Amino acid sequence: MKSFFTVCLIVGATFFAPVSAQQMPELKMETGLNQRFPGPVFIPVPKAWKDGVEYELENRRSKKRFALQRLSDEELVFLLTDTLQQGQTEVFRFVRNKRQDKQFVHAEKTDSGILVKNGEQPVFFYHTSVKYPGGDSGSVYKRSGFIHPVYTPGGKVLTDDFPVGHTHQHALFSAWVNTIFKGEKTDFWNQHQLTGTAKHVAVETMNSGPVCVQLKLRLAQESLKYGTVLDEKWELRIYNLPGTFLFDLHTEQTNVTGDTLFLPKYIYGGMALRGAARWNKEDSAHFEENWKVINAAGEENEAANHKPARWVKVSGTGASGNGMVVYDHPANFRYPQPVRVHLSMPYFVFSPVVNEGFAIAPGEKYKARYRYFTYDGYPGKNRLLQEEQNWISAPVMKLTYKK
């Protein structure tokens, strides 16, 4: 009996050992020349991180604790809840997580896709199954691998998946238009040209944690004649922010063929958003108001067409004030990317081919990332700039190990 009791004490002491005994570092966060506003912050995974152990961060000054979530072998994320000033330094320590964080954001898999919700409110739906257009539209427009609807926190729909007049546009989607593959024109966007399309392939990861929902998806940009040309990966991170809908989309396209895909200069093609049916003049059954586009430079509608834009805001012109902001990222090719704003239809696309073409050789990758922020009632330009600051200017993060 004495031996058993001794063993229990030893096991208990090991299990409840403080994190410092596991040689976890301290984390120093320096804002530098920029303020840091509440929202997601990304940090490297410490070498001493133990798989299977739940950690959180504790601010050494305020004793406030923050849930942590591991996104990959190299990256963690937490949600900062305070505003930090220029030149401010905060030090955090890693501690064992002893609390149950209320999870606002979660994902539900259905027969046709993935529904992401913030509390009881839907954020968006990603289509894994092939969806067909309604009415007299042909099956040539069938599509999977897109996001629709995208909602505001108040439940207003901001996208349209098979819009009247342009059935080949699919809400939040990715596709190239004017490409040359094996010496032939291949159009992955305009499905009615019968040369290409894009589709969902697989759900690789669907994680719901205390900080965000993380989805890792595989898609394909496909030639109808030669098969998959670009293997496309989407990683979506939808953040656990009560009453706020904020998510990131990272895309990586790899040429999996033995031939170069050429993307000549063209007026559109890339990461696109088709606006709601109520903004579509051609849709007489649903039209309510015109839509308005404004970019970070203050250029509106036609004046914003083909202009480089750090971000784009879209909304209706009526009194409702609901809309969406999409942010480009400095890591993206040709940042800030030109944006195609259609002169009569509610859609825009971040398009790096507007001023100059490029090519994706066999085995090469094209990468891009964007942040999406939806709202009910215009939050004001300061809020938009705060979100941009968080997105494009990361604080300096240093892990310091005790010797």
Q: Which residues contact 19 (CB under 8 A, 6 or more apart)?
A: 55, 93, 94, 95, 96
Instruction: Note the Cα 205 to chain centre separation in Å.
Output: 15
Give dist(CA 308, CA 299) in Å, integer: 10
**8 Å CB contact between 229 and 186:** yes
Tell which residue, 151, 145, 110, 143, has the closest CA to residue 238: 151
**What is the strand order of the sheet 245-255 is part of?**
196-208, 212-223, 227-239, 245-255, 365-375, 323-327, 311-316, 291-295
How far is residue 326's CA from residue 333's CA, in Å, rounded to a whole number? 16
Sequential pLDDT tens for the chain (403 residues)? 444 333 333 333 333 344 444 589 999 999 999 999 999 999 999 988 888 888 999 999 999 999 999 999 999 999 999 999 999 999 999 998 877 667 789 999 999 999 999 999 999 999 999 999 976 667 899 999 999 999 999 999 999 999 998 899 999 999 999 999 999 999 999 999 999 999 999 999 999 999 999 999 999 999 999 999 999 999 999 999 988 999 999 999 999 999 999 999 999 999 999 999 999 999 999 999 999 999 999 999 999 999 999 999 999 998 778 999 999 999 999 999 999 999 889 999 999 999 999 999 999 999 999 999 999 999 999 999 999 999 999 999 999 987 6
